[in-house]
Amino acid sequence: MIVHPSIMEYIENHVGQAPEAFQQVWKKSQWEMVYGHMVSDVPQAQFLRMLAQLMGARKVLDVGTFSGQSALAFALGVGENGKVITLEKNEEHWVKAQRILKDYPETQRIHFHCGDALAWMEQCQDLFDIIFIDAEKQQYPAYYEAGLSLLRSGGLMIIDNVLWYGTVTDPTNQQKDAVILRQFNQKIANDARVTSVILPLRDGLTLLQKK
């Protein structure tokens, strides 16, 4: 964890007016999913929901469904005329996410797609207000390029796990995902097509806006 546990606990205890659903989905993910730690926690879900509200987003692409927490956060944020497309390649996750979210009325705004995210993105013709990248780390550079072409001008891309437990700051750490993410973060920092910043929320979130 890159933020001190006591700070994380404090932040968790001071999320204002988060829907009960975020805590419920987090808990169900711990019980029902094999890798329960992969679910967005309540502060992150609240942050994603607020970004969608602040952007006035109507169309969101969520790359990496898992148990559906980020998809639900965006579904709440886009309002009743909005829609969220969420992509998941693991059929078991795809089935469980729909079951976990089935009782929330906002789930009607979510389209759950089962299949490889990159393949879907490369054939998509639509434009999105927000794209959230939270799937296979080795594929991040490819999601980024495909995602940029699906993002409207002024649109927001959010990328999770960019600090990879803090390993990106240590150039001697040659672990595969650390190396990929270190190069990836540098590429974004140098990219004149976007303005960007890394936030130390959870495992590191990049926010970037397409010019």
Nearest to 84 by CA among 126, 139, 42, 29: 126
Contact window for ligand SAM (CB under 6 A) among 2-10, 53-61, 135-143, 173-181 = 135-143
Structure tokens at 48: 């994603």
- Interacting residue with ligand SAM among 85, 133, 135, 146 (CB under 6 A): 135
Residue written as token pair 């929320």:
201
- How far is the C-alpha of 194 from the C-alpha of 211, rounded, in Å? 5
Stretch that binds ligand SAM, among 60-68, 76-84, 122-130, 168-176 (CB under 6 A): 60-68
* DSSP, residue by residue, 156-182: EEEEE-TTGGGGGG-TT---HHHHHHH
Among 22, 49, 59, 88, binds ligand SAM (CB under 6 A): 88
For 191, list phi and psi in degrees, rounded to 5.
-85, 115
* Nearest to ligand SAM of 49, 93 (CB atom): 93
Instruction: Give the total of residues touching ligand SAM (CB under 6 A).
Output: 20
- Letter string b/e over residues 157-168, b meaning 16 or more CB atoms within 10 A of that residue's CB: bbbbbbbbeebb
Shortest distance, position 71 Cβ to ligand SAM, whole Å = 7
Binding mask 107-126 for ligand SAM (x = CB under 6 A): ---------xxx--------
Q: Which residues contact ligand SAM by CB under 6 A?
A: 38-40, 64-66, 69-70, 87-90, 93, 116-118, 134-136, 139
